[in-house]
């Protein structure tokens, strides 16, 4: 990506800027997730990546310095919207007795399996095609899987909460 476009020093400065941007966006996404809900914010991030990962990676492929920077900035923002509320979302999935074990096991399994495969899959896609835009296949796959999971868990959680309310109401009648 940096060949003939950026020196190593400029590339490192760009990476530093993107990391600082990611931290700022992470805090802002956390504030929004507190006001709305972590699941809704994650859904927005999923749809952002589903709809825009291919066009943004085409910008990176364009070879235009400003296109590369804009594409990377928007991908970082989408990634933080997608992954920022994960811990808050996982915390709310489990009842109090199992919250720590359940959320830590879920998070670690997800990071180990999908996070560990991401560099391998993305490197393979890039090496096979020679284009960064091919990486969007993996990003779209992950975002679609997360979208389906979020909707499934939301339905199950609603059923569970409804059952608890029904049981509680029945207990009050006794």
**In the block, residue with structure tokens 């296949």:** 137
| 85 closest CA partner among 45, 146, 33 | 33
65-96 pLDDT tens trace: 888 899 999 999 999 998 889 888 888 787 88
In a domain, 57, yes or no: yes
State the Cα–Cα distance between residues 100 and 106, nearest whole angstrom: 10
Look at the chain and report how many structural domains it folds into.
Answer: 1
Q: In the prediction, which pLDDT does 165 show?
A: 44
Q: In the prediction, which pLDDT does 144 show?
A: 93
- Please count the other Cβ atoms lying within 10 Å of the Cβ belonging to residue 167: 10
Q: In the prediction, which pLDDT does 157 show?
A: 57
Start-to-end Cα distance in the chain: 69
The count of C-alpha atoms lying within 13 angstroms of the C-alpha of 121, restricted to the half-sphere facing its C-beta, is 15
- Record the pTM: 0.78
- Please count the other Cβ atoms lying within 10 Å of the Cβ belonging to residue 164: 11
In a domain, 133, yes or no: yes
Q: In the prediction, which pLDDT does 174 show?
A: 42
Lowest mean pLDDT among 13-22, 53-62, 118-127, 157-166: 157-166
Integer CA distances (angstroms), 131 to 59, 62, 111, in order: 11, 10, 25
State the Cα–Cα distance between residues 90 and 38, nearest whole angstrom: 9
Q: Which structural domain, as residue segments, surrounds residue 77?
A: 8-173
In a domain, 3, yes or no: no
Residue 45, classed as helix, strand or coil, is helix
Q: In the prediction, which pLDDT does 154 show?
A: 66
In a domain, 24, yes or no: yes
Torsion angle defined by CA atoms of residues 75, 34, 43 and 140, in that order, rounded to the nearest 10 degrees = 30
In a domain, 158, yes or no: yes
Q: Token digits for 105? A: 């096991």
In a domain, 149, yes or no: yes
List all residues 6 or more positions away from 161 whose beta carbon is below 8 Å from its beta carbon: none
pLDDT band at 23 (very low <50, low <70, confident <90, very high): very high
In a domain, 1, yes or no: no
118-157 pLDDT tens trace: 889 899 999 999 888 899 999 999 999 989 988 888 666 5
Q: In the prediction, which pLDDT does 45 show?
A: 93
pLDDT surpasses 80 at 2: no
């Amino acid at each position: 990506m940096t060949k003939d476009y950026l020196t190593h020093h400029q590339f490192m400065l760009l990476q530093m800027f993107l990391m600082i941007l990611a931290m700022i966006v992470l805090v802002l996404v956390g504030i929004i997730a507190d006001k709305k809900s972590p699941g809704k914010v994650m859904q927005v991030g999923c749809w952002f990546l589903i709809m825009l990962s291919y066009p943004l990676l085409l910008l990176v492929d364009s070879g235009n310095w400003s296109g590369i920077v804009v594409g990377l900035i928007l991908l970082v923002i989408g990634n933080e919207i997608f992954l920022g509320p994960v811990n808050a979302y996982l915390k709310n999935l489990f009842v109090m007795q199992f919250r720590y074990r359940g959320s830590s096991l879920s998070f670690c399994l997800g990071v180990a399996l999908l996070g560990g495969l991401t560099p391998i899959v993305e490197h393979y896609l890039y090496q096979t095609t020679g284009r960064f835009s091919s990486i969007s296949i993996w990003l779209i796959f992950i975002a679609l899987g997360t979208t389906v999971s979020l909707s499934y868990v939301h339905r199950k959680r609603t059923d569970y909460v409804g059952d608890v309310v029904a049981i509680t109401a029945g207990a009050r009648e006794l």
